[in-house]
Amino acid sequence: MLEPSDGMVVYDSVSKFFPVREQSGRSDPSHLMVALDRISARVGAGELITLLGPSGCGKTTLLRLTAGLLAVDEGRITVNGKLVIAPRKDACMVFQNFGLLPWRTVMGNVEFPLEIDGVGAAERRDRARHFIELVGLAAFAEHFPHELSGGMQQRVGIARALMRKPILIFMDEPFGALDAQTREQLQEDFLAIWSRTGATVVFVTHSIDEALILSDRIFMFHTTPGRIRTIVDSPLASERLGGDVRTHPDFGKCRAELRDMLRSEP
């Protein structure tokens, strides 16, 4: 059994079930689908780990359980030694669909979490300005979301997520809706931002390339039911902050090895 002291995030035999939906559209609570089956792992403080696997393997479910947005059915999840039973203020989520308020400017969107917390206008504006500059959008602080590209909107989402200075950041395929060139740029930019925050990141992706580019470690899933097949120390982790790992001589070899792991029988 893993103990809460074993890491920043500890998964101890975590399982999650959902009622099976019948043809009528109704859910039958007596028939349950196993979405996650006895997940056990740990995430160290300051790590960036990716949950890698095909659609439907339970990656997002595990992320939402860790964020306290869903309840664990069996086992337990702890963050900093405390049982996860609800969302935490020192953790934040970055979604694929940006989730910006269209009637607010970039500054207004980034300020919003501290506005909810009752922080004074001057303090929250100063902090928002800092994070807007950090993500490279200082010249767009008074623009509205519809005036920004998709990549710029996601930068706003990242800046907003950092406003409470979280110790833990959850990212659910945040770059999945972007074009390839913008996605590559944001991957590099996010690594630079993450390296300055010291936050722990749990990042969901179905892209092998993205996992290799970003990760300290890769949690590889298989489906039906969702399980962690293996945990891989990223062979390129030490290279990712010094340049583009896509140009590393071993990148193609590492990608092929991960693909073979995902395609092989568990």
Q: Give the domain range for residue 142.
A: 100-164
Whether residue 139 lies inside any domain: the answer is: yes
Whether the Cβ atoms of residue 212 and residue 132 lie closer than 8 Å to each other: no
Whether residue 138 lies inside any domain: the answer is: yes
**Beta carbons within 8 Å of 69's beta carbon, 6+ residues apart:** 87, 93
Whether residue 158 lies inside any domain: the answer is: yes
pTM across the whole model: 0.89
Domains of the chain: total:
1
Whether residue 107 lies inside any domain: the answer is: yes
Rounded to whole angstroms, the Cα distance separating 51 from 59 reads 6
Whether residue 212 lies inside any domain: the answer is: no
At 23-78, the pLDDT tens digits run 655 656 667 888 899 999 999 999 999 999 888 888 999 999 999 999 999 999 99
pLDDT by residue, tens only, the chain of 266 residues: 555 555 689 999 999 998 877 665 565 666 788 889 999 999 999 999 999 988 888 899 999 999 999 999 999 999 999 999 999 888 988 887 778 899 999 999 999 999 989 999 999 999 999 999 999 999 999 999 999 998 999 999 999 999 988 999 999 998 887 888 888 888 888 898 888 888 999 999 989 999 999 999 999 998 778 899 889 998 888 888 777 788 888 888 888 988 888 877 55
Whether residue 252 lies inside any domain: the answer is: no
Whether residue 36 lies inside any domain: the answer is: no
Whether the Cβ atoms of residue 177 and residue 96 lie closer than 8 Å to each other: yes
Whether residue 152 lies inside any domain: the answer is: yes
